[in-house]
Structure 1
Amino acid sequence: MTLKEIRSLDAGCRFHEEYRGEKVPLFEEFLELTKEYPDMLYDFELKEYPVAGNERRAYETADRVTALIEEYGLGDKCVLNAFSAVLLQYIHDKYDGRYRLHGYYPKSLLGESQNRDPYDILYCACVCEDFTRETFDRLKQRGIDTWAGTRFNNREMLELARRCGATLITCDNPKEVRETLREMGLHT
């Protein structure tokens, strides 16, 4: 879609009536909003991947995102997230390991890697399969913070995340997940 087409969409209509009419913000507009929340941790997912024919665009996008993150002083308040081991390695190498990187488990979700194990450079990984304490422990032994992926979106799955030792949950339904976590005594 073009930017004009994206900006014509209603970004809030499917969530709650009070958000009807909200527009998809530009990244810079979102970063302006972050000024109101100085203690928030941000997980910025990069969606342009360096697949055949798209390498230049993917790397330029990552560079523009990191430049804006620096401009807004969010380097230590964010993680950069991608389903691409190659893109995560590019960011790690180009920026001398300055950014915390967020990947996924199992490794097959990260696509092909170039010349190193992507888990050697990750700060955290969302566990999306094999929800066992052993999986979480193996990642932690490598120094990787374990997060629960979007499948952890109801009480049963949130209890499993707690038992496995997840330290953070990424979700598509934050209001409901937060309320359930509060009921479980796991969120203030």
Structure 2
Amino acid sequence: MNWQNAKTLVLAHRGSASEAPENTMAALRLALQQQCDAIELDIHLTKDGEIVVCHDETLDRTTNLRGCIGEMTLADIRQADAGSWFSDQYAGEPVPLLREVLELVPLEIGLNVELKLSYGGSIEHKVVALLREYGRLSSVIFSSFDHRMLYRLKQLAPEARISLVYAGKLLRPLRLIEDFELEVEAVSLHHAMVEREDVMAIRNSGRQVIVWTVNEEEAMKRMLECGVSAIITDYPAKLRRIVG
């Protein structure tokens, strides 16, 4: 996966989350069918050390079960129905393992893995080991609002690519990147906070600009005009039609 593509990349948010239950294999398969360039997903660590794909730290919102992922075993989590809340069509859809995602998604499709919680530093070690096992560490971008977690991951695996996530409008984005000290591949910004001059400055420095979460056609077109590297969207099919 070439994250430095000249054309803006279509990045499916938790899969094709507008048409299938987020962060499930069904949503990922649909995103692949809709010709996304990459998939954004979120990971957590179970009580017995397995990496699962889920946005929230609990199962409450997206399954029929309740509880913190970090306090449950994989066997417990496998009992959850992660599809019925979205539609009866997806009843019985399980919470997937990251390992299963790596087996599904072809090498030419990128992954943007967002880290939510460190789990005492365990998740950084676990995810690096898993991606090395699959030979995909250098093709994945890790992102997080927790920059300390990204710093630890980068120290652990210097070849890993990281993206610093920011929610606000930055005064001097390049200074923040340089202050990080370690190599930064990209920054991830909310699309409403993006200015073309900042995008150009970041990209001219050899880094990428990923924007989230862009679902309206007008906003998609504005991001293309700004020259962003990748657009995260719940509507990858719509964005693919616009990007071409």
What TM-score range do you get, normalising by the shorter chain? Answer: 0.7 to 0.9
Say whether residues 1:100 and 2:158 are aligned partners.
Answer: no
Q: Secondary structure at the match of 2:165?
A: strand
Higher relative contact order (CA 8 A, sep 6+): 2
Which residue, 144, 169, 188 being the options, matches 2:207? Answer: 144
The Cα of 1:77 is off from its aligned counterpart by 2.3
Structure 1 residue aligned with 2:96 = 25
Q: Counterpart amino acid of 1:78?
A: V
**Structure with greater helix share of residues:** 1
CA distance in 2, matches of 1:30, 1:183: 25
1:76-115 deviation line (CA, Å, top 9, x unaligned): 32111221111111122222x2111122235799xxxxxx
For residues 91 and 205 of structure 2, the distance between their equivalents in structure 1, rounded to whole angstroms, comes to 44
5+ residue gaps, structure 2, are 1-67, 171-177
| Conservation of the 8 A alpha-carbon contact between 1:40 and 1:77 | no
Of the candidates 66, 87, 99, which is equivalent to residue 128 of structure 2?
66
Which runs of structure 2 are paired with 1:6-45 in the superposition (5 Å)? 6-15=77-86, 17-34=88-105, 37-45=106-114
CA drift of 1:20 comes to 2.7
> Are 1:154 and 2:225 counterparts?
no
Aligned to 2:231: 169
Q: Which has the higher strand share?
A: 2
Between 73-82 and 7-16, the greater mean CA deviation after superposition = 7-16
CA RMSD of aligned residues (A): 2.5
The normalised TM-score by structure 2 is: 0.59
Q: Give the letter aligned to residue 145 of structure 2.
A: F
Matching residue's letter, 2:202: L
Matched, 1:127 2:153: no
Structure-2 change in CA distance of 1:38 and 1:16 (3 Å): farther
The letter of the residue matching 1:100 is R
Mark the CA change 1:68 to 1:149 in structure 2 (over 3 Å): closer, same or farther: same
Change (3 A) 1:137 1:106: farther
Give secondary structure in 1 for the equivalent of 2:137.
Answer: coil
Contact 2:81 2:92 in 1 (8 A): yes
Aligned residues: 165
Q: Is the 8 A contact 1:127 1:146 kept in 2?
A: yes
**Cα distance, 1:16–1:74 mapped onto 2, change above 3 Å:** farther
CA distance in 1, matches of 2:201, 2:155: 25
- Partners of 2:181 and 2:89 in 1: how far apart? 41
1:3-31 Cα offsets, whole Å, 9 max, x none, are 45533332233445543321001222322
Q: Distance in 1 between matches of 2:138 and 2:182?
A: 20
- Mark the CA change 1:180 to 1:31 in structure 2 (over 3 Å): closer, same or farther: closer
Say if 1:6 and 1:24, in contact at 8 Å, map to a contact too: yes
1:183 aligns with 2:244: no
